[in-house]
Amino acid sequence: MENSKTQTQLAAVITPDELLKHWQAHRDLTRRTIVAFPEKEFFTHTIGGMRTYAKLIQEMLAIAGPGIKEIVEGKTVKFEEDELQNKKENYLKAWDETTAYLNENFPKIKLEDFHRKIKAFGQFEGTVISTIFYFMDNEIHHRGQGYVYLRSLNIEPPFFWER
């Protein structure tokens, strides 16, 4: 009975498919932000001691795919940021591979599991849904940093409402 109630409550607000589409729209916007950066500045430009946009993207890549893998498989994944040889094309390729991975594996999350308690990367306690929201929030936050970087370089970032 409780399981049925949970499914009805979840479906009444947003379906898993709608949640994935929402996230992927954000990911598309983040990808366009990567594209907007000049090659050199993607790896070198910072403000106020913040990390470069390349480093921020490495973090996003270390969270999204491995985080969903951990949720789907139920096995703790180590948080690791990969070096991508300081070539923006490698970051875009990794971004696109992660997008495909999410499209294939996100639907494997069972509806009843969205409120299951987890410890993401063996460190961060929450539920599946709160963890997925964190993945999205982290990306949006870091994309905002990228927008500030782009504006400081006199480059107009992609319109955030075009998702």
Going along the chain from its start, the domains and CATH numbers come out as 15-152 (1.20.120.450)
pTM over 0.95: no
Task: Round to whole Å and give the CA distance between 135 and 21.
Answer: 14
Task: Round to whole Å and give the CA distance between 74 and 17.
Answer: 20
Task: Round to whole Å and give the CA distance between 146 and 46.
Answer: 9
Which residues, 6 or more positions from 85, have their beta carbon under 8 angstroms from its beta carbon? none
Q: Please report how the helices 16-36 and 88-105 are oriented relative to each other, as an axis angle in degrees rounded to 10.
A: 180
> What is the mean pLDDT of the segment spanning 41-69?
94
Q: What is the mean pLDDT of the chain?
A: 89
Can you give the pLDDT at residue 57? 96
Asked whether residue 161 carries a pLDDT value surpassing 80, the answer given is no
Task: Round to whole Å and give the CA distance between 123 and 133.
Answer: 16
Task: Give 7's pLDDT tier (boundaries 50, 70, 90).
Answer: low
Q: What is the pLDDT of residues 71-97, one digit of tens each?
A: 998 887 776 667 777 899 999 999 999
Which of 124 and 78 is assigned the larger pLDDT? 124
> What is the mean pLDDT of the segment spanning 56-85?
85
What DSSP element (H or E) covers 75? Answer: none
What phi and psi values does residue 117 have, to the nearest 5 degrees? -75, 135
